[in-house]
Amino acid sequence: MTVGEAIRQYGEAAGPKRAAIVRRFVEAQGWHENAGRALAEYLRDLEAQGMKPGTVDQVYRTVRAFYRRLGLEPPRVPGHRYDPQDSSRPALDGEAISRLIGAARSGLVLPQHVGYLALSTVYGLRATEMASVLDQDVDRDGERIYIRTAKGGTARWTWLPPEVARVLPEHWPMAEESHVEASFGRIWDVAMDAEKPRGVAWHAVRRALVRDLRGAGVDASDVERFLRWSSGGSKRMVSLYERPNELVGVSGEKEKVVVAEGTREADSDVWAKHPYISLWAIQ
């Protein structure tokens, strides 16, 4: 198998964005089975070009994951450390969220873009997740939506509130992630007088949703589950243990605990305290 074929297969599994990262690395540095020195040099070049620390770290982790998938020892760069505190993490304030939703409801925003904004403000979808929505994922009769997830989280059915269902388009054509990213800027231009700051996009909505859910008193583990983060270690175990699938009483009998995915009850506290649902309601 050639390197090109390996990258293509990796893209099928991990997505085209990560395949492109590996392809650019190989094009710049050539192919090395022991690539630690080449990767270190490549990361230094990216930093010199002004790439943000978080993006450089994504390159590092993606190249290592590619080597691991090939059964090779993933290259290491001694001293490489990434502190999320070093990255830019803009979040929209409540007024900005309200203005975006108001613009979407004004009729001046394309229906597909209204759908993206609804999915972002209600579920915190990433751009790559919105690009992968299919017609069959929106089950209006069952009042639920199937959300695929990036970064290793768990795909699941989630409740679809009527306020959201009515603004989602009937059809979800295949979309490039870049198209979804660009749609945020178009909504911003309709909603705001000021120019959109560089680096502000869909993730600024996701961060705002997390902030405001936590501010409303939603437990961190409930937010983590609702936002579909993949978590490891103790946090993951707490999330699993607090939701047992069986209860045992004094009789010694096991009773199944059934909370159907895709219902309001599955994320009851989130929906009870969701900061943006009311902004989508008919007034």
Over residues 114-158, the pLDDT tens digits come to 999 999 999 999 998 999 899 999 999 999 999 988 776 778 899
Tell me, what DSSP letter sits at residue 131? Answer: T
| Mean pLDDT on 49-55 | 82
Least confident of 41-45, 97-101, 184-188, 254-258: 254-258
> What CA–CA distance (Å, rounded) separates 261 from 211?
24
Asked if 114 and 104 count as a contact pair (C-beta separation under 8 A), the reply is yes
Alpha carbons 7 and 46: distance in angstroms, whole number: 21
Nearest to 3 by CA among 73, 76, 70, 68: 70
Q: What is Dmax (Cα atoms) for the chain?
A: 67
Residue 271: which pLDDT band, with cuts at 50, 70 and 90? Answer: very high
3-class SS of residue 168:
coil
All structural domains of the chain with their residue ranges: 3-86, 94-280
Q: Is 105 left (phi over 0), alpha (psi -120 to 50) or beta?
A: alpha
Res. 240 pLDDT band, cuts 50 70 90: low
Question: Which pLDDT value is given to residue 142?
Answer: 93
Question: Strand order in 144-147's β-sheet?
Answer: 138-139, 144-147, 156-159
Quick count: other Cβ atoms within 10 Å of Cβ 51?
15
The C-alpha atoms of residue 281 and residue 274 are separated, in whole angstroms, by: 13
Q: How confident is the model at residue 42 (pLDDT cuts 50, 70, 90)?
A: very high
CATH class of the structural domain 94-280: mainly alpha
Query: CB within 8 A of 43, min separation 6: which ones?
Result: 56, 59, 60, 77, 80
